[in-house]
Amino acid sequence: MKLVIGGSTGFVAKELIRQGLKNPAITSIIARGRREAPTPSEAGNSASKFNSIVVEDFENYSESVKKEIENADARYSATIIDYRASIFTIRTIAVTATKLKEIPFEQTVKISRDYATYAIKALDGLRNKQATHLRFIYMSGHFAPRSLAEVPQQLKTHGTVDAGLLRGEAEGLILKYGRESNGTVQSCVIKPGAIDHLSREKKETPGLPHIKLDDIAAALLDQTIHGFEKDTLTNDDMIRIGQKVLSGDQES
């Protein structure tokens, strides 16, 4: 399986790359981001599976970027995208709550919704050329609502209702694309809470659950390799799946 990761310099992406390089089911990893992603120092002989490409425009992939993504012989390709931070797929293409006041809302719309919907369409087009299937994971957030009726109090308190609904809209569009693909594209949304890792101070937000970095990375790999349990996975789902994989109860 070929794994394509967007926003590839984020901390979730780095752990996903680290675990993916050790997994024999992953034949190649393409890391996409605005900056080049370094090869993990412990990669060893698996380093040949890794390729980092710089993407300048997330709404119009260059021919060189398309060629890099196409150049892999795999029955399945998988893409994991986290639009919660500030750029693209896996913790680098998204807008965090702390950045919302600094970025014009029109730019937030592009980053949190348009980049993701363009990505699934563009990668589906490349998949058609390769005659492979595509599994696409959109990494959203725990509080993201898909309707006004679902808006949690936390978003109202912090004045982030519009941003939350935007992510919920993106979730719906990603899942709709998969449903309408006649089985060639399998799409999934994950809704993790706060992701804990050693280099980051643990902070508590009322109502927001936590998940360990290694657990979420293990769960993401498991779902891309074996297929999605369901189209939307909660924080609890990801903890359960990740811990099962890491305990050795299930092959990764």
Tell me the per-residue pLDDT of 129-163, one tens digit each, with 9 for 90 and over: 665 788 899 989 999 999 999 999 999 988 888 88
| pLDDT tens digits, 7-27 | 766 788 889 999 999 999 898
Q: Does 196 score more than 50 pLDDT? A: yes
**What per-residue confidence (pLDDT) applies to 88?**
27
User: Which residue from 136, 143, 142, 81 is spatially nearest to 113, judged by alpha carbons?
Assistant: 81
Residue with tokens 């498991």: 222
Domain that holds residue 231: 2-246
- Output DSSP code: residue 139: E
Does residue 252 sit within a domain?
Answer: no
The pTM of the full predicted model, rounded to 2 decimals, is 0.85
Does residue 251 sit within a domain?
Answer: no
Does residue 149 sit within a domain?
Answer: yes
Does residue 204 sit within a domain?
Answer: yes
Q: What CATH number did the domain enclosing 194 receive? A: 3.40.50.720
Looking at the structure of the chain, the number of domains it has is 1
| 11-20, 80-89, 224-233: range with highest mean pLDDT | 224-233
User: Which residue from 231, 97, 89 is spatially nearest to 154, judged by alpha carbons?
Assistant: 97
Averaged pLDDT, 66-94: 50
